[in-house]
């Protein structure tokens, strides 16, 4: 917060209005569970995704909150589909499990890997794109300098903070964010929170 405030007056105003940053990594569950949950939740409302994930955890995880790669690979497609998962998500979950079981995605080592190496390993999995990989870096691994330039909320928040007439594209957001590093994750969080203030009439 101090570094961003000193470097960027417009971000400094956003920090003052939003208040202290509460961005913390999510340490509950396993990294595999975090990624499996991300796949299940894609393009679904929170309530529907939670229901489907609950079935998935109960039926495939044996009642635990974290179905393992081995248990997914031991389940047939009909069983996985019976949890409410689409064919595309079943294939993505199976591919995720295969990547982990075969060592192509070393989740036990991701804490020691560079950001770009983690992203490269994750986007090789079916159904995991760059945005999902960046959210994993931010919200699971707690990496401080992630800039999700394709995230609509970050783009809208930056538009509000920097008084832009139009929504910034990736190139413009990179330029705006030149003073955010090495704390781009924190600045991105403030972009999201700025939208909360706007919605509440507090901007």
At 66 the pLDDT is 74
Q: Is 115 a catalytic residue?
A: no
What CA–CA distance (Å, rounded) separates 127 from 119? Answer: 13
CATH architecture of 31-139: Orthogonal Bundle (1.10)
What CA–CA distance (Å, rounded) separates 105 from 98? Answer: 9
User: Token digits for 90?
Assistant: 């079943």
Q: What is the pLDDT along the chain (203 residues), one digit of tens a residue?
A: 999 999 999 999 999 999 999 999 998 889 999 999 999 998 887 888 999 999 999 999 877 667 999 999 999 999 999 999 999 999 999 999 999 999 999 999 999 999 999 999 999 999 999 999 999 999 999 999 999 999 999 999 999 999 999 999 999 999 999 999 999 999 999 999 999 886 655 56
At 44 the pLDDT is 84
At 61 the pLDDT is 85
What CA–CA distance (Å, rounded) separates 107 from 99? Answer: 10
User: Rounded to two decimals, what is the model's pTM?
Assistant: 0.90
Contact present, 178 and 11 (Cβ < 8 Å): no
Q: Half-sphere exposure (CA, 13 Å, Cβ side) for 121?
A: 22
Contact present, 127 and 153 (Cβ < 8 Å): no
Contact present, 86 and 44 (Cβ < 8 Å): no
Q: What are phi and psi of 114, to 5 degrees?
A: -65, 155
Q: Which CATH number fits domain 2-23+147-199: 1.10.150.120, 2.60.120.560, 1.10.1670.40, 3.30.70.20?
A: 1.10.1670.40
At 17 the pLDDT is 95
Kindly list the domain boundaries of the chain, sorted by start residue.
Answer: 2-23+147-199, 31-139
Give yes or no on whether 2-23+147-199 and 31-139 have one common fold.
Answer: no
At 97 the pLDDT is 97
* Strands annotated E in 40-158: none
At 28 the pLDDT is 87
What does the DSSP 8-state code read for residue 185?
A: H
Of 8, 33, 95, 151, which residue is the catalytic one?
151
């Amino acid at each position: 917060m101090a570094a961003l405030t000193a470097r960027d007056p417009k971000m400094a105003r956003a920090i003052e209005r939003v208040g202290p940053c509460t961005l913390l990594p999510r340490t509950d569950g396993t990294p595999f569970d975090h990624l499996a949950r991300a796949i299940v939740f894609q393009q679904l409302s929170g309530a529907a995704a939670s229901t489907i994930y609950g079935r998935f955890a109960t039926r495939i995880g044996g009642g635990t909150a974290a179905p393992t790669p081995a248990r997914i690979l031991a389940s047939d497609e009909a069983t996985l589909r019976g949890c409410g998962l689409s064919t595309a998500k079943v294939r993505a979950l199976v591919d995720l499990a295969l990547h982990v079981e075969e060592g192509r995605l070393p989740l036990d080592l991701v804490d020691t890997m560079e950001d770009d190496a983690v992203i490269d390993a994750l986007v090789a999995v079916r159904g995991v794109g760059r945005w999902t990989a960046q959210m994993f870096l931010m919200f699971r691994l707690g990496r401080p300098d992630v800039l999700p330039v394709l995230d609509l909320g970050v783009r809208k928040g930056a538009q509000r903070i920097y008084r832009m007439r139009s929504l910034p594209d990736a190139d413009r957001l990179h330029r705006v964010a030149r003073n955010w590093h090495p704390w781009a994750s924190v600045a991105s969080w403030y972009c999201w929170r700025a939208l909360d203030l706007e919605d509440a009439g507090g901007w």
